[in-house]
Amino acid sequence: MDTNTIYFAGGCLWGVQAFIKTLPGVVDTEAGRANGETHSLNSHYDGYAECVKTTFDESVVSVTQLVELFFEIIDPYSINRQGNDVGLKYRTGIYSENANHIEAVIDYIARRNDSEKIVVEVKPLTNYVKSADEHQDRLSKYPNDYCHIPKELLTRYRK
């Protein structure tokens, strides 16, 4: 298995994690915070984006394929908002410590006909903090909690 890790921010992380964990080639997900200033959950908002750490098998699914699937659940034209979730922490973004991943995402966006309207942040990962246990796989534990992603889309790729 050729595993890699990439981080997806698409509004509230509950739905993003519920969707991503069903995708082919995804071997693990973890709810967290990307690119904040601190390394703790005990601080006030510090610039982070809610995200899902995604470990995947690159022999099964490519970064480009994951990004294409991620675009099914986000509004790539919306700044700091997905559904009813509004604020900088709900911005859309894709982060990685691997420069090849960043390049693949930039290439994917550049090839789209709507590329000039897309506001998805694409940056190297500079900081990651795992979310509290109560946020891990939240929609699996509490399926009736609010989610900005329609249920039929959340389960489209369920294994």
Which residue in the list 12, 20, 51, 94 is annotated as catalytic? 12
Q: Where are the beta strands (DSSP E) in the chain?
A: 3-10, 26-34, 49-57, 81-82, 85-86, 92-96, 121-124, 128-130
Q: How crowded is residue 43: how many other Cβ atoms within 10 Å of its Cβ?
A: 12
Through-space distance between the first and last CA atoms of the chain, rounded to whole angstroms: 19
Is 147 labeled as catalytic in the residue annotation? no
Q: Which helix (H) or strand (E) holds 111?
A: helix 99-111
Question: Helix %, strand %, coil % for the chain, to 5?
Answer: 30, 25, 45
Cα–Cα distance measured from residue 14 to residue 19, given in angstroms and rounded to the nearest whole number: 9
Q: Give catalytic residue positions.
A: 12
